């Protein structure tokens, strides 16, 4: 049955999206001449970014019918140099180390001294909005205490450094 009117098209899209037996990978979708939900492209790649707790995350999902590979990552900041803030560096390393142990290495410090957070999921189901959000939220909830602690340590350190007197060797131009 061909769908011609806008209301019919909308209803057909909603009906098709709500039917798990007709689940398709996320991506550009539309209706064909018979009113069936079809993909407009076949690359199966979904990429997006979002902000959570002031951290910028990126997601890339490669979807095929019946299988999905999904990667989530973020740079949580840079480890300060020892000369800048030795206590902050030590505290951040301790939090990242414990988070890495608790989360199976998903938070670590790379060679450029960036604090990285990543995970990769492979699951044998078609990527749907529900599965995408479920995996993303589960990933974030598992790390929330560590993200909060890193944010607290970095924020407290900035506030503390703002209270410290200016070094005596600093001169101001008059």
pTM over 0.85: no
The whole-number pLDDT of residue 160 equals 58
Q: For residue 108, is pLDDT > 70? A: yes
Of 73, 25, 14, give the one whose Cα is nearest residue 49: 73
Confidence grade of residue 72 (pLDDT, cut at 50, 70, 90): very high
Q: For residue 74, is pLDDT > 80? A: yes
Range of lowest pLDDT (50-59, 73-82, 99-108, 151-160)? 151-160
**What are the pLDDT digits (tens) for 44-60?**
788 888 999 989 999 98
Of 40, 28, 30, give the one whose Cα is nearest residue 10: 30
List of residues 6+ apart from 21 with CB closer than 8 A: none
**What are the pLDDT digits (tens) for 121-145?**
898 887 777 788 888 888 899 999 9
The whole-number pLDDT of residue 32 equals 66
The whole-number pLDDT of residue 37 equals 54
End-to-end CA, the chain: 81
81, 89 in Cβ contact below 8 A? yes
Domains of the chain: 1-41 (no CATH), 44-163 (3.30.1460)
């Amino acid at each position: 049955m061909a769908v011609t009117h806008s209301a019919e098209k909308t209803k057909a899209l909603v009906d098709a999206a709500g039917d798990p037996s007709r689940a398709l990978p996320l991506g550009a979708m539309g209706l064909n001449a018979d009113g069936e939900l079809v993909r407009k492209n076949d690359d199966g790649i979904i990429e997006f970014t979002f902000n959570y707790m002031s951290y910028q995350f990126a997601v890339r999902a490669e979807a095929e019918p019946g299988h999905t590979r999904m990667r989530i990552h973020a740079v949580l900041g840079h480890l300060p140099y020892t000369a800048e803030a030795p206590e902050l560096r030590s505290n951040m390393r301790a939090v990242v180390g414990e988070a890495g142990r608790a989360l199976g290495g998903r938070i670590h410090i790379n060679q450029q001294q960036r604090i990285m957070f990543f995970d990769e999921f492979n699951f044998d189901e078609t990527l749907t909005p529900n599965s995408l959000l479920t995996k993303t939220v589960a990933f974030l909830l598992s790390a929330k205490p560590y993200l909060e602690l890193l944010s607290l340590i970095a924020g407290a350190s900035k506030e503390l450094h703002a209270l410290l007197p200016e070094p005596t060797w600093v001169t101001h131009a008059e």
